[in-house]
């Protein structure tokens, strides 16, 4: 049974969607506050998230950015603010789709079905193997000789992107755009810290091997097993 998470401060909206999608054989979870949504996602892997923009505390854009640190589930923004600026902001925050209120419930259902179906088509059985290092994009798990590593969603995306293009140097801007899905602006330091953490975790997992290399003033690249001579 596919799992849906609806996040909105309108409890009537949450209840109507819960009833509809439960009848459609989904397992439905609801959160009326951003903090509650994060608590749900910390303990549960969902298949799709439907997210409102205007909520108390933090708005939907910031919540989406926080969700992207722990979950790769498709996110559909659902909002009464349908102008182009909000649509663009939703995608830059990490969203996958946008539907304006008021909406047709059947259209929402079809968009959810499409978003759930798309990752299964793209990532089905996608595994990258480099000697003892295995990067499983379907399960989003990195292992070395069968031992799993502890990588966040963002850290996994960095490893997977570089490993899918061995030897290709990604500039700071390219890597940031591909992983964060927005311009780098003044966040190069954040990128450097994130990659440094990934390199350390990967080296510890792989017995000191340096799979991610730095090219001074240019960026980073993935070195496959045949390049694992001591630096």
Q: What is the pLDDT of residues 23-59, one digit of tens each?
A: 999 999 999 999 999 999 888 889 999 999 988 788 9
Task: Please report the pLDDT score of residue 64 as a whole number.
Answer: 93
Q: What is the pLDDT of residues 53-89, one digit of tens each?
A: 988 788 999 999 999 888 888 999 988 777 788 888 8
> In this structure, which CATH number among 3.40.1350.10, 3.30.565.10, 1.20.970.10, 1.10.10.10 belongs to the domain 127-227?
1.10.10.10
Query: Average pLDDT over the chain, rounded to whole?
Result: 85
> In this structure, which CATH number among 3.40.50.720, 3.40.50.2300, 3.90.400.10, 2.102.10.10 belongs to the domain 3-122?
3.40.50.2300
Task: Please report the pLDDT score of residue 43 as a whole number.
Answer: 81
Q: How far apart are CA 229 and CA 132, in angstroms?
A: 15
CB of 67 closer than 8 Å to CB of 38: yes
**pLDDT-based confidence at 140, cuts 50/70/90?**
confident
CB of 63 closer than 8 Å to CB of 51: yes
Where do the domains of the chain lie? Answer: 3-122, 127-227
Task: Please report the pLDDT score of residue 125 as a whole number.
Answer: 45
Domains 3-122 and 127-227 belong to one CATH topology: no
Residue 225 CA, chain-centre distance (Å), reads 27
């Amino acid at each position: 049974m596919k799992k849906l998470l609806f996040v909105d401060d309108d409890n009537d909206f949450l209840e109507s969607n819960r009833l509809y999608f439960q009848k459609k054989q989904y397992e439905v979870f609801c959160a009326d506050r951003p903090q509650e949504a994060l608590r749900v996602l910390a303990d549960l892997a969902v298949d799709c998230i439907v997210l409102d923009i205007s909520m108390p505390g933090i708005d939907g854009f910031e919540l989406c950015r926080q969700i992207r640190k722990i979950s790769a589930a498709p996110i559909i923004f659902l909002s009464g603010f349908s102008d182009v600026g909000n649509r663009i902001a939703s995608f830059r925050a990490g969203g996958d789709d946008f539907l304006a209120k008021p909406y047709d419930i059947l259209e929402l259902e079809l968009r959810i079905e499409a978003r759930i179906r798309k990752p299964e088509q793209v990532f089905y059985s996608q595994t990258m193997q480099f000697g003892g290092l295995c990067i499983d994009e379907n399960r989003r798990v990195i292992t070395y000789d069968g031992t799993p590593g502890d990588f966040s969603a963002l850290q996994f995306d960095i490893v997977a992107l570089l490993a899918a293009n061995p030897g290709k140097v990604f500039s700071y801007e390219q890597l940031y755009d591909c992983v964060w899905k927005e311009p780098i602006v003044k966040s190069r330091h954040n990128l450097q810290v994130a990659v440094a953490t990934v390199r350390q975790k990967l080296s510890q997992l792989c017995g000191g091997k340096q799979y991610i290399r730095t090219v001074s003033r240019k960026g980073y690249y993935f070195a496959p097993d045949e390049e694992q001579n001591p630096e």
